[in-house]
Structure 1
Amino acid sequence: MITVMREHWVDCIDELMPLCIEVHNIDEQQTYGLELDFDRDLYIESEEANQLHCLVMRENGKVIGFHWITINPLARFKGKTQACTDVIFVLPKYRRYSNLLIQCSDRYIKEQGCYMWALATLDDCYRGAVWERKGFKKAETIFMKKV
């Protein structure tokens, strides 16, 4: 049985860590030149402030994917909030269930009253056509510079 539910970050991070490492190794480590070093206090504070939302996908209790969402007010659009994907990942062996995680995330974000959902994709994992079929529109290109 596949489930997707919001869980407390601090309660599931140890189970999620192998998946976090896999995501990081796809492209982030090379792009950013940094090792994973979670600021546990900041994650906990963000969740307590209802900014961080951790959705976890499980098959019969075993973690197979997750979606970390941040929800923040849009200062340029009074009264509107935006959900941003920090990371969304499903283990390759379970990718056939990716659509379920996206659907559950979409429903969750709508229930939170968000005006929009923004996400960025890693170049190595770019799936623009997939996201466009889900209703997303390419809006910006993100450039990063190490300073």
Structure 2
Amino acid sequence: MISISRENWADCIDQIMSLCQQVFDLEEAQFTGLKLDFDVDQYIDAEKAGYFHCLVMRKNNKPIGFHWIVITPMPRHKGKFHAHTDAIFVDPEYRKYSNQLLSFSEQYIKEKADFWTLANLSANDRQAMWQRKGFKPIETIMFKKL
């Protein structure tokens, strides 16, 4: 059975760490040259402040995917909120369930925000899928190591 719910980051991070490492290894690890090293206090504080949201997808209670969302007010558009996907990943073995996570996420976000943005990772290009889901490419995200 597939379940998806918002979970406290600190309560589930140990269970989803292998998934986090998989998505990190796709591109960010090579580009940054860094190891995955979460600032636990910062994640907990962001969650307590109400702008970090951790959704976890499980099959028979085993984590198979997650979606981290940051939701903030839009200073340029008074009263509007922006959701940004920090990370979204489903274990390749369970990709057939990806649409369930995306549908759940969209409904979740619709209740809390007016706009949703995400970055399309070049190493795992899913632009066509995101466009079928209603996303429009509006800019290219550039990243520079300093």
> Does 2:11 match 1:5?
no
Partner of 1:71: 71
Trace 1:108-119 onto structure 2 (pairs within 5 A): 108-112=108-112, 114-119=113-118
Residue identity in the other structure for 1:136: F
Partner of 1:48: 48
C-alpha separation between the residues in 1 aligned to 2:26 and 2:136?
24
C-alpha separation between the residues in 2 aligned to 1:81 and 1:3?
27
Deviation >3 Å, runs of 4+: none
C-alpha separation between the residues in 2 aligned to 1:121 and 1:33?
20
Residue identity in the other structure for 2:83: A
Can you give the 5+ residue segments of structure 1 that lack an aligned partner in the other structure?
none
1:126 Cα deviation from its structure 2 partner = 1.1
1:64-108 deviations in whole A, cap 9, x for unaligned? 000000001111111111000000000000000001100000000
C-alpha separation between the residues in 1 aligned to 2:69 and 2:31?
21
C-alpha separation between the residues in 2 aligned to 1:54 and 1:121?
19
Relative to the length of structure 2, the TM-score reads 0.98
Percent sequence identity over aligned pairs: 55
Tell me how large the CA RMSD over aligned residues is: 0.7
Partner of 1:83: 83
1:95-140 deviations in whole A, cap 9, x for unaligned? 000011000000000111x110000021111111100010000011
C-alpha separation between the residues in 2 aligned to 1:17 and 1:121?
21
Partner of 1:143: 142
C-alpha separation between the residues in 2 aligned to 1:77 and 1:132?
24
Residue identity in the other structure for 1:144: F
Partner of 1:26: 26
Residue identity in the other structure for 1:126: D
> Does 2:138 match 1:121?
no
C-alpha separation between the residues in 1 aligned to 2:32 and 2:136?
26
SS of the aligned residue for 2:140 comes to: coil
C-alpha separation between the residues in 2 aligned to 1:41 and 1:51?
14
C-alpha separation between the residues in 1 aligned to 2:74 and 2:34?
29
C-alpha separation between the residues in 2 aligned to 1:105 and 1:84?
11
C-alpha separation between the residues in 2 aligned to 1:135 and 1:121?
14
1:145 Cα deviation from its structure 2 partner = 1.1
